[in-house]
Structure 1
């Protein structure tokens, strides 16, 4: 056998198999009215259809009907070239280039936009269905394979949280509250959806659903893409979310330029003109939450006027825009600005200038659904969600309490007489909280704790007020005059929850607290183990209104339920007391949960 005969002939390289799918962002778009045959170019912002370097082409291939829009934005030298040249002494001349592609696809049921690069910028935002991503995800995600959750707390705290689990965990592990938390993004593994990606593929499919789109592997051929869109439509057509995710679908944001949001803007503008503040309140924006407690004054620039204020009040904001022309009241709130200061004047700013409407919340009922304006956006709350919230709050307000709360009366006139306080009579005011706390503590076996702070190393010397008063059986009593703002109630709920957590879990704080109680009231009937403490919220609403599910503002209800859930987890009992303003009613009606 010769050397040549034994030589192995090399095989030609195997061609790399083209991928059958690609992870893409999919938007569901809404037609105007009932026109299902609307020109697809109407879903694209006109400036991209007419822009130099952009092209739009109709598509009709193997049953796939749509419109393809592509282009590249090249604005010239990057803005960092000059400073980098100066810094290094070397010439730098690089260019930014941004590519955009949008493929609009029409099916029998809907129009979809598949985006590549920055292609989502070309979609008219009014046309995007904001509920699509979450609607799909909560109908097919595996509850024990969730990888990421982004959520916002829908109360005056304005907090946004994002939690991830690389390998996935159960939805319950993310600690989502079932009341008042808006899930704006959720990611995880899906099941029972026969997509092209899962055909003959041992790897599970994943999806990220948010309030604008879903990110998922879609087929690369016309037939495969149409198949995947059909499977996605079948998932969305399922009548209900999976049980573990049902509460998520009850709250959804509305697109700011959507038809429903614009109708709600008109209704809210009319409410502002009528001065209807019963369903309005203040809420601290997310960007101001950290420094809000240190604010000594607020500069309000609104409707052409600027002023420094020691406190904010929703009536003050509404009055500033109430007499403006129809359609201009809500716009004035959006154009106005509020800035916080650590000083009583404008010498020490501790926040930026935040739009006034971000401090403003409102509730607008509309048939079976309710809508909330919160931090400049509209949210729709489903009827079932509201029913559960109302019932739980009603349960908290249905039982007798274990403490007596005296009436919170009107202070004396200059003549020394108590009278019937006519509307607008500025010389007659409700006594302040300092006065009321002393009234509570004047009762037999009650103890005044107001301003008697506990100091520990963990509290970094600042101290903490555990409660305003101690009840005869060791009840922790926290008091608040709520007036017309949600913020004081959120502060009340946070104070009570933090106080219980501190005496239960901080040994040094517990010792300091017990030492103070022993000095004030030796042999007080206080359970020193704090294994099942009782927390009492005493609340005086505006005009002495009775505490009911209807008289509590919606976001206050949500904060109350959050607090009740946290206290229940600590073995604590919560009581809520509605305080009367007049002595004629005798003891205030007390409620508990």
Structure 2
């Protein structure tokens, strides 16, 4: 057994090697900046204190009490940069992590170690984010540890960002199980002895390079966000730039809605695209062609720069809200055997085997067809287009329109139970799938409704009341057991859905099955939308 005093827990980061050691740190003043040696390896140690004369909240304290609150702060730090083999490792103490150049830090390095060494039956913390329009983030902790089932992780589209728990540290100086923390960094005990530390770093690298097929946590690495310095980015951005001009060779391009603007985008009657080159005003719902027609006139190599500097404004009545245009684009492409997805302004990497598994399962799921009838959807380009169509559907015997007839419960203050209720009390959610993220919004609407009906008695009572108001002779004897997603604009096919939308769909189906509900699909006959826009100076 190695005595605890021979090791000390700290944070370890990894970055691509081959650079001058000064490039790994943000420019700042160091109290000490020294070249040091660990055994035969030339390293760099910087240390000092980050100082602040007055915290931002001090003025609030003074305004409330009249008492001065000049409270200078000092945050000590140290960073040891160790070039080893093809990598540069950074050990940080105190506020040292703030000194590292974010763009050079390997994303998920600690997670790669954790996948291979964490005990999946004694996890203490898992933090994750959903890859869908909600951008939901979750952190679950078990002080005494839990197996994977306790964290309710989704098998699809769950971007795990941090984990903690008991881990096997055999091969390192510490050698015994220890509660580590992993994310971009690995927080674990490392040797105090210089030569032993180098052995520890090599051992960590060897663990990360091991196959992960025997790990119950391997799904964590299936979807990863690309680091800003990832070598694949130049080619990916070039492909996206070409797609922005209408080139479809490299993969599908779609129009998405920023997660923070879903409500405004749905209600908007006018959209404005402002770029350094021009301004485009779209009267009515914005379509992908409104952007691609504009970017086609910009040189391909300049399009990504223009996209990142442009903004899209959604206007409704007297209110408007804008966001950077890059968040309005979704794109997918395959390089080698890896699928890359662009969403909400970020690139994600998805293993090709994982993508194949998703496509196979979605293909089977889409065979579940609802036996429902729909009139042809003729788009009007008006804000209430969907509502008018739902009223048409409800003109048929046995159908009821509940679109825009909002329900309210303590957990869900404003939501739609469904757009249309079918003849056998199917909860039918209707959407025109002209945008990449329209499908994800449809899935979220169905999910919220099902959750409310399962968890909140008020939701069921309101559904019964709404049915009685529309048809006094109709009685809902039992909770609905079928959810139907009805789509126009494109058919329900695997090749018509973005991979991230398919991930969200599988997540929805899994949840509904857990609630004893069946998910089905319907293709709505439709007339294609026509482009209508005007260009303003």
User: TM class, shorter-chain normalised?
Assistant: 0.7 to 0.9
Equivalent residue of 1:244, what SS?
coil
CA contact (8 A) 1:454 1:512 kept: no
Map 1:509-524; keep pairs closer than 5 Å.
Answer: 509-518=459-468, 520-521=470-471
Cα distance change, pair 185–528 in 1 and its aligned pair in 2 (3 A): same
Q: Deviations over 1:255-296 (max 9, x none)?
A: 112322233122212222345497233444344457766666
Residue 361 of structure 1 aligns with which residue? 330
1:258 is matched with: 230
- CA separation in 1, counterparts of 2:5 and 2:272? 58
* Cα distance change, pair 140–314 in 1 and its aligned pair in 2 (3 A): same
Residue 588 of structure 1 is matched in structure 2 by: none
Alignment of structure 1 residues 122-137 onto 2, 5 Å: 122-137=99-114
SS of 1:56's equivalent in the other structure is strand
Q: Tell me what 1:574 maps to.
A: 519
- Displacement of 1:533 after TM fit? 1.0
Q: 1:301 to 1:198 in 2, by over 3 A?
A: same
The Cα shift of 1:249 comes to 0.9
User: Is it true that 1:27 corresponds to 2:27 in the alignment?
Assistant: no
- 1:69 corresponds in structure 2 to 45
Superposition pairs of residues 119-198 of structure 1, within 5 angstroms: 119-191=96-168, 193-198=170-175
Deviation at 1:539, TM superposition (A): 0.5
After superposition, give the CA deviation of every residue in 1:349-386 in whole Å (9 maximum; x if it has no partner).
5x5x5322123222122121111122222111011211
Q: How has the CA–CA distance of structure 1 residues 141 and 316 changed in structure 2, closer, same or farther, with 3 Å as cutoff? A: same
1:77–1:394 CA distance, 2 compared to 1 (3 A): same
Counterpart of 1:56? 34
Measure the CA separation in 2 of the matches of 1:91 and 1:441. Answer: 67
* Helix, strand or coil at the partner of 1:19: helix
Q: How many residues align?
A: 523
Name the CA shift for 1:409/1:357 in 2 (closer, same or farther; >3 Å).
closer
Matching residue within 549, 553, 572 for 2:498: 553
Between the aligned partners of 1:22 and 1:330, the Cα distance in structure 2 is 45
Residue number among 475, 496, 508 corresponding to 1:563 in the alignment: 508
Higher mean C-alpha displacement, 189-198 vs 367-376: 189-198
- Whole-angstrom distance in 2 between the partners of 1:166 and 1:547: 44
* Aligned 8 A contact 1:159 1:286 in 2: no
| Contact 1:250–1:384, Cα closer than 8 Å, also in 2 | no
What's the counterpart of residue 333 of structure 1?
307
Structure 1 residue 222, shift from structure 2 partner: 1.8
Q: Distance in 2 between matches of 1:83 and 1:470?
A: 56
Q: How far apart are the structure 1 equivalents of 2:496 and 2:20?
A: 48
Q: Shift of the alpha carbon at 1:97?
A: 4.7
Cα distance between partner residues in 2 of 1:570 and 1:121: 45
Secondary structure of the residue aligned to 2:155 is coil
- Residue 9 of structure 1 is matched in structure 2 by none
Name which of structure 1's ranges 448-457 and 159-168 shifts more when overlaid on structure 2: 448-457
Query: CA separation in 1, counterparts of 2:437 and 2:78?
Result: 45
Q: Which runs of 5+ in 1 are unaligned?
A: 1-16, 32-37, 412-425, 584-593
Q: Distance in 2 between matches of 1:18 and 1:145?
A: 22
Q: How does 1:405-420 map to 2 (within 5 A)?
A: 405-408=374-377
Give the SS at the match of 1:384.
helix
The whole-number CA distance in structure 1 between the counterparts of 2:404 and 2:33 is 71
Of 418, 421, 424, the match for 1:470? 421
Find the aligned partners of 1:450 and 1:95 in 2 and give their Cα distance: 59
Taking the aligned partners of 1:560 and 1:467, their CA distance within structure 2 comes to 17
Q: Is 1:376 matched up with 2:321?
A: no
Bigger Cα Rg: 1
Compute the RMSD of aligned alpha carbons: 3.7
CA deviations over 1:498-547 (Å, ceiling 9, x no partner): 333444444344344334435655765x76222x6111111112xxx432
Any conservation in 2 of the 1:405–1:538 contact (CA below 8 Å)? no
- Residues 78-130 of structure 1, C-alpha deviation per residue, up to 9 Å, x if partnerless? 46699599768888876555544332224446432212233345544444322
TM-fit CA distance, 1:190 = 0.7
- Aligned counterparts of 1:280 and 1:231: Cα–Cα separation in 2: 43
Who is 1:419 aligned against?
A: none
Please state whether the residue corresponding to 2:341 is helix, strand or coil: strand
The alignment status of 1:534 with 2:482, answered yes or no, reads yes
TM-score by length of 2: 0.84
Conservation of the 8 A alpha-carbon contact between 1:450 and 1:467: yes
Q: Conserved in 2, the CA contact under 8 Å of 1:29 and 1:112?
A: yes
Work out the CA distance in 1 between the residues paired with 2:297 and 2:34: 48
How many angstroms apart in 1 are the aligned matches of 2:34 and 2:238?
36
Would you say 1:324 and 2:295 are equivalent positions? no
Displacement after TM superposition at 1:137 (Å): 0.8
**Kindly tell me: are residues 18 and 560 of structure 1, through their superposed partners in 2, closer, same or farther at Cα, counting changes over 3 Å?**
closer
After TM superposition, give the deviation of residue 447 of structure 1 in Å. Answer: 1.5
- TM-aligned CA deviation for residue 467 of structure 1: 2.4
In structure 2, relative to structure 1, the CA distance for the partners of 1:438 and 1:74 (3 Å cut) is closer
2:179 maps to: 206
Of residues 440, 444, 450, the one that matches 2:393 is 440
**5+ unaligned residues in a row in structure 2: which ranges?**
529-537
Secondary structure at the residue paired with 1:259? coil
